[in-house]
Amino acid sequence: MVDVGYFALCLALAAAAYATATSLFGIHRRHEGLIRSGENAALSVCALYTVAVMGLWYAIFSRDFQIQYVAENTNAHMPAQYMLASLWGGQNGSILFWGWMLSAYTSAAILLNRHRYRGLMPYATAVMAASCCFFALLNIFAADPFQRLPFTPTEGQGLNPILQHPYMAIHPPLLYAGMVGMTVPFAFGISALAARELNNTWLRAMRRWLLIPWTFLGGGLLLGGKWAYVELGWGGYWGWDPVENASLMPFLAGTALLHSVMIQERKGMLKVWNMVLLIFTFGMTIFGTFLTRSGVVSSVHAFAQSNVGPFFVTYLVIIVVGSVVLLLWRLPDLKPESHLESFASRESAFLLNNWILLTLLFAVLWGTLFPVISEVVTGDKITVGAPFFNRVSVPMGLVLLFLTGAGPLFAWRRTSGESLRRNFTIPAISAVLVATVLFAVGMRNLYALMSLSLCGFVVGSVGLEFSRGISARRRSTGESTLAAFYMLLSKNRRRYGGYLVHLSVILLFVGFTGQALSIDREIVLYPGQREDVGRYAVTFETLAFGDDANKSVSAAAVSLEYDGQFLATLLPERHFYKTAEQNTTEVSIYTRWLEDFYLIIIGSNSQDGSTKFQIYVNPLVACVWWGSALLVLSSLWAMWPTSRDRRLARLDREAARATAGPASA
Amino acid sequence: MASENHLYLGVSMRGKFAIGSVIIGLGVIFLIFTGVQQSAARHMTLDMLLEQSVTELDGRRIQLGGCTVVVGSIEWDAYRHRPEFLVTDGERNLQVRYTGNAVLPDTFQDRAQVVVEGLYVAGGGEPQFEAEIVFAKCPSKYEGQSYDDHVGALDVENSS
């Protein structure tokens, strides 16, 4: 089975190479048969990759420890769901998994679009198949997951216990689905340039393919944060680690692109800028992967250093040089159809949003690469930590927040002073109201006040948009408010789904703001002792020890009160895994409304039984989780095809068939 | 940016947008500059660090990398919170005292690859490192290395 897997991987490489070459040759010769053959070969890459992945899974589940990857990433006692996850737990397997996903995306893009966008698809197929080639090459020549050891270990090393967590089984695939998926919009962009079909058609083809990986990236990032929060025991969810930054950067670039394509669709402006952004977004996914896997920057959770670095650099150089040359070549075809007319316009707001997102991205990139840059420039390797990133990102985040609310209040082309005053009144009142209330209840943290009142501003602006839409519908159709709300959401999914995404961003920002207000305490308690922590009080009841073959456990029982009311008994634990010789912290979290009481047992003094605890009170943190859920759901809502989309697709297919018909007959 | 502006701006708007982008740019440069000053730490390896005297590095924030924790050297305080331990680059050792508040990551253990950030100080006579931050990476046994070493050793045996 393992040999079958390896063989399938080699065949996948051959099929992908064939698909690339044949598609290009087919375009050159205008030969429909060759183009079809290229597409079918690209589809077969997915089937072959599936066989390869099954081969590795088979080796994992049959505990074939002679396979180095299996020996290093699994052991005989692991539960089945983590055996499944260990396919992407290590470097080589995750690259195989990456290639598999890429081939699946490629197949989906071909099957859904090949009858629709006849002009674009052959080029897109070539680009996507060429990417498949790269990952298959990488697997075969630098990161072979099927590599055998010259001996068979009796037991594998297992997956790191802190990674044996449900979130950790889901988080990497989601993130990969986001990173990998950016290949599809990139392929559409390149095909538009190559085929010289630079009207709005390719934008229409690419839009959803951009939104899908964007949603995956967002969901993956936030799930990773949730995992860190419940599993790592440092009370936070985002540490500005290079690996985290590596996936944040394509997300920021993708967000900028999602906004600026709207200007192009509507006004025919920013054509060059959008191409650059698209190339940049895709480049960032490859660059991020390179950062994570090459050992260029040291990170807490990077993969082991390996020799895939040069491969990624070569790939990145080919992508950037190739697409920039193509872009320069097509520059004359990318003239804007209109100009920016006024500062006070939707276009300007979008532009500003793009600049801020990109400068934020640049700052994150700068901080991540600072050790490398400073070493080249000064000879000293200088690193910057979380304080740097927080200092830079908080002010820019606040400007972005303001734009989230302000953007929709501007009209396209130009907005008169009168309508600006009218549009800004309600959101501004809402912001002032929030600030006043918070100040009155005693909040004095400047950043938190600014952030939360800006959130109020955005809620006011989104609310205004919805209420205008609803009353317009009610006037014309006589629907009830609720029905009008629902119809508004489902008739114009893109616009109102987008506003829902904005609301989820507000929830996220409210949650982030909570970090500024969190309390962090370290206390030592004797059994039976009670201690106040803000309005909470904890009583250390007892400490217990347990022991089994796999691990030994020490657990504390701590009762928690709020304003004198008993809430719960918390049971934080500390585990020691015997085979891995590793400690893990099992955090105990009590969620009260939007606030978390987060308790960790640090250790106990065996002499006198006193025990040290670490406590975090994290206000508003639940907003981050609710916000992420809403982000994913509302983005799904926005991208879901409407009946109008399906009708358009049918018309496109019929038109394509009509033009292709005589040629193939 | 300026060369690209004509692609989407009318002539009269160019100047205004140039001013806008300069303001944003300056703001970002200011933020980055002060941010770096706040949290920059010079990255050094153990041999680089030990070559310099403690007084030379007085008060400079240092990130010491490329070390592993010496087996059996971790001495926890009574609550298993702030340890003192030895780090080694294979040849030299240095005493490290953890002074931070955070609970050390679960990956901190014997043989773990660590990066410590803090100050190099003259402790009671012997120079030591006061670490405010300790990053610990899982020992290499979770990825690569170990079997490769093993295979390497086998190859040596076979060829001799």
Does the beta carbon of A273 lie under 8 angstroms from any beta carbon of chain B? yes
pLDDT tens column, A141-195: 988 999 999 988 888 887 777 777 888 788 889 999 999 999 999 999 999 999 9
Cβ pair B81:A382 closer than 8 A: no
Per-residue pLDDT of A574-590, as tens digits, reads 888 777 677 788 899 99
Return the number of other C-beta atoms located less than 10 Å from residue A436's C-beta: 11
pLDDT of residue B110: 87
What pLDDT shows up at residue A33? 92
Residues forming beta bridges with residue B43, ordered by sequence position: A381, B63
For residue B5, the model assigns a pLDDT of: 42
pLDDT value of residue B141: 39
Supply the DSSP symbol for A231.
I
- Residues 292..351 of A with a Cβ closer than 8 Å to B: which? 298, 300-304, 306, 334-336, 339-341, 343
Q: Is A660 on the interface with B (CB under 8 A)?
A: no
Q: Strand order of the sheet with strand A611-618?
A: A519-525, A611-618, A595-604, A588-592
* pLDDT tens digit sequence for A440-461: 999 899 999 999 999 999 999 9
- DSSP string of A567-613, one letter each residue: EEEE--EEEEETTTTEEEEE-EEEEETTEEEEEEEEEE-TTT--EEE
Contact call for A371 and B110, based on CB within 8 A = no
pLDDT at B155: 54
Q: Among A134, A128, A126, which Cα is nearest to A106's?
A: A128
**Contact between residue A577 and residue A584 where contact means Cβ atoms under 8 Å apart:** yes
* A464 vs A156: CA distance, rounded Å: 59
Q: Is it the case that residue A627 has pLDDT exceeding 50?
A: yes
Q: Which two tokens stand for residue A616?
A: 């975090």
Report whether pLDDT(A505) > 50: yes
Is residue B149 over pLDDT 70?
Answer: no
Percentage of residues of chain A with pLDDT beyond 90:
64
* Model confidence at B160: pLDDT above 50: no
CA distance A5 to A217: 29
Helix, strand, or coil here: A306?
Answer: coil
Tell me the residue type at A416: S
**B135 CA to chain A: closest CA distance, Å?**
6
Check residue A302 and give its pLDDT: 47
Q: What is the model's pLDDT at position B97?
A: 93
The pair phi, psi for residue A452, each rounded to 5°, is -70, -35
Average confidence score pLDDT of chain A = 90
**Three-state SS at B81:** coil
Inform me whether the C-beta atom of residue A368 falls under 8 Å from chain B C-beta atoms: no
CB A99 within 8 A of CB A132: yes
Q: Collapsing DSSP states into helix, strand and coil, what is residue B118?
A: strand
Q: What is the 3-state secondary structure (H, E, C) of A166-179?
A: HHHHHHHHHHHHHH
Q: Is the pLDDT of residue A663 over 60?
A: no
CB contact under 8 A, B101 and A383: no
- Compute CA A353 distance to the chain's CA centroid, rounded to the nearest angstrom: 19
Beta-carbon contacts below 8 Å between A and B: 175
Name A302's Cβ contacts closer than 8 Å, sequence gap at least 6.
A242, A243, A292, A293, A295, B137
pLDDT category of residue A24 using cuts at 50, 70 and 90: very high
- Which range has the worst mean pLDDT, A132-146, A261-275, A628-642, B113-127? B113-127
Contact A278, A394 (CB under 8 A): no
Give CA–CA dist A617/A628, Å, rounded. 21
B57 Cα to chain A: minimum distance (Å): 13
Is the predicted pLDDT of residue A228 greater than 60, yes or no?
Answer: yes
A140 phi and psi, to 5 degrees? Answer: -75, -40
Contact in structure between B9 and A340 (CB atoms under 8 Å)? yes
Percentage of residues of chain A with pLDDT beyond 70: 97
| Angle at the Cα of B104 from the Cα atoms of B102 and B105, rounded to 5 degrees | 120
To 5 degrees, how large is the angle CA B87–CA B89–CA B93?
45
Interchain proximity B7–A356, CB inside 8 Å:
no
Residue B123 is predicted with a pLDDT of 66
Contacts of B150 in chain A (CB under 8 A): 149
Mean pLDDT score, B113-134 = 85
| Neighbour-count burial for A54-89, b at 16+ CB within 10 Å, e otherwise | ebbbebbeebbbebbbbbbbbbeebeeebbebbbbb
Q: What pLDDT score was predicted for residue B4?
A: 44
**pLDDT tens-digit series, residues A299-351:** 555 455 567 888 999 999 999 999 999 999 999 999 888 888 787 888 889 98
Say if the Cβ atoms of B105 and A232 lie within 8 Å: yes
Cα–Cα dist B23/A44, whole Å: 53
A578 to chain B, any CB pair closer than 8 A? The answer is no
Count of other CB atoms within 10 angstroms of residue A379: 7
Question: With left for phi above 0 and alpha for psi between -120 and 50, is residue B71 left, alpha or beta?
Answer: beta
CA distance A604 to A529: 14
Residue A130 has what pLDDT?
A: 97
- Please give the average per-residue pLDDT across A101-115, as a whole number: 94
Rounded distance between C-alpha atoms, residue A26 and residue A37, angstroms: 9
Q: Give yes or no for residue B139 having a pLDDT over 60.
A: no
Residue-wise pLDDT for A585-615, tens only, equals 889 999 998 899 999 998 888 888 899 999 9
Residue-level pLDDT at A75: 84
The helix (run of H) or strand (run of E) holding residue A282 is helix A271-294
Reference A423, options A436, A404, A406; nearest CA is A406
pLDDT exceeds 70 at position A504: yes
Instruction: Indicate if the pLDDT at residue A13 is higher than 80.
Output: yes
Long-range contacts of A593-596 (CB under 8 A, 24+ apart): A593/A622, A594/A514, A594/A619, A594/A620, A594/A621, A594/A622, A594/A623, A595/A514, A595/A619, A595/A620, A595/A621, A595/A622, A596/A621, A596/A622
DSSP A299: -
Nearest CB neighbour to A612, from listed B41, B81, B115: B81
pLDDT tens, position by position, B44-89: 889 888 888 777 777 788 888 888 999 999 998 888 889 999 999 8
Stretch A471-494: mean pLDDT = 91
CA distance A615 to B134: 20
Q: Which amino acid belongs to residue A524?
A: V
Which range, of A91-95, A203-207, B7-11, averages the lowest pLDDT? Answer: B7-11
- pLDDT score recorded for residue B138: 58
Q: Identify the residue with better confidence: A100 or B133.
A: A100
